Each structure stands twice: as structure tokens, then as C-alpha cells.
Amino acid sequence: MICEHCKQRHATVTVTQVVNGQKSERHYCEVCASQFHPFNLDFHKDEQVPIHQLVSNWFGLPIWKTGTQEKQTQNTQQVTTCPSCGFTFRKFLNEGKLGCPQCYETFSNQLPQVLAKIQSSTKHIGKVPGNTKQSNERIKKQIEIIREQLKVAIVEERFEDAARLRDEVKELERKLESGGVDQS
């Protein structure tokens, strides 16, 4: 079928109009169609989908309010690239995943908006690594083990080993003390 307007190109778009209950169909090529109906998104299939649309596709969220939407467009104009893995915020939106731990720092301006939508808040209130109390316990246990080895070494008259083990105990005890200072 040939386009009804330019009568040159192949007609690929069908426009259905309903006026006063009367249905009429027109067949245009893509070039002419986009001139007549620039509002129809289907004509721009290959163009970039707006960012807020992408996010909502990815996370199954309602489309963002106009306020955030404008802010978002601004942010992407000055493209930030993660120095560690080369990810851009756009790449994150496409993948749905970040490239490295550093990304959380790099995109610290944009990420909270995404997190607020998918999480219950943007502040972690759970487990924190490096609980001093626990590591102290661990060191104490280690000291006990080494002391046992030290006794065996003395009984077996391996004095070089014993000296080394004694130094290890001293080192761990020093660690324990400084840890105690930190705690108080």
C-alpha cells in the first residue's frame, strides 16, 4: 500500500479516527504520519524512552511526578560516570543493577529516589559489621588457643616456637587492650 499523503513511500501506519461515531482509516508512511500525529509515541519507537518510564518499567512503579521528572532529566545531562567501574546512571537504569560498591557513592544524588520507591526507607537500621564486643571475644579465644600451644611447646622443649608463641600472645593482648580503650 502507498502512503495517501506523499503517494511515494510505503504506507506502514494506519490512523483510525472516530468522528461523530463515524470510523475512518487513513494509511500513511512513517514520515508523513509523524508530521500529522507527532503526539503518538508509537511513531518514535526507536527513540529513547524517557528515563522515568524506564525506571517504572524496571521496578514496576507508577510514573514519577513531574517535579522529580524534570530534576531527573537535568541530572542525566551532566553525565556522571563511576570512576571504579565506568557505570553511568543510565546504564544502571537499563541493567537494574549497579557495577561496584563505589557506585552508591557516585550516584548518591539520584539513588535515594529509586530506593525510596522500592524500599521502606533510605536508611539502614539493621546489622552493622565489626561489633567490637564480638571481635574481643574472638581475640580472647585465640589467646587461649595459643597459650595451649605454648604449654605444649615448652613441654616438648621447642623453645624457639615457644618464644614466637609468647610474642603472639603479647601482641593479641595489646590489641585487646587498645580495643577496650576504643570501646569506652
Partner 1 sequence: MNIEDFLKSEAPSWMKVKGTDGDIVISTRIRLARNLDGFRFPLSFSEKEAKEVDEAVTKAVLNISEKIFSHFTIKEMPALQRQVLVEKHLISPLLAKKENSSSVLISDDESISIMVNEEDHLRIQCLSPGMQLLETYNLAYKLDNELENHLPYAFNNTLGYLTSCPTNVGTGLRASVMMHLPALTMSKQIKVITQMLTRLGMVVRGIYGEGSENLGNFYQISNQVTLGKSEEEIIEDLQNAVVQIIRNERASRESLLNKAPLVLEDRFNRSLGTLKYAHIMTSEEAAACLSNVRLGVDLGIIKSIPLHVLNECMILIQPGFVQQYAGTTLHPNERDLFRAKMLREKLNSKTNKFNNKGEEKYDV
By CB under 8 A, name the one of 68, 84, 94, 109 that touches partner 1. Answer: 84
- Tell whether residue 33 is a contact of partner 1 (CB under 8 A): no
- Tell whether residue 65 is a contact of partner 1 (CB under 8 A): no
> What is the chain's percent helix, strand, coil content, to nearest 5?
55, 10, 35
- 115 C-beta neighbours (distance < 10 Å), count: 14
Binding segment for partner 1 (CB under 8 A), chosen from 1-9, 46-54, 111-119, 158-166, is: 111-119
Q: How far apart are CA 62 and CA 117, in angstroms?
A: 9
Q: How far apart are CA 156 and CA 16, in angstroms?
A: 97
Give the residue among 93, 104, 12 at the shortest CA–CA distance from 55: 93
Per DSSP, the three-state class of 63 is coil
- Tell whether residue 86 is a contact of partner 1 (CB under 8 A): yes
Cell reading at 24: 475512518
- Tell whether residue 118 is a contact of partner 1 (CB under 8 A): yes
- Tell whether residue 113 is a contact of partner 1 (CB under 8 A): no
Residue 55 or 150: the one with the smaller Cβ distance to partner 1 is 55
Residues 124-153 that bind partner 1 (CB under 8 A): 124-131, 134-135, 138
The residue ranges that bind partner 1 (CB under 8 A) are 84-87, 95-101, 104-105, 111, 114-115, 118-131, 134-135, 138
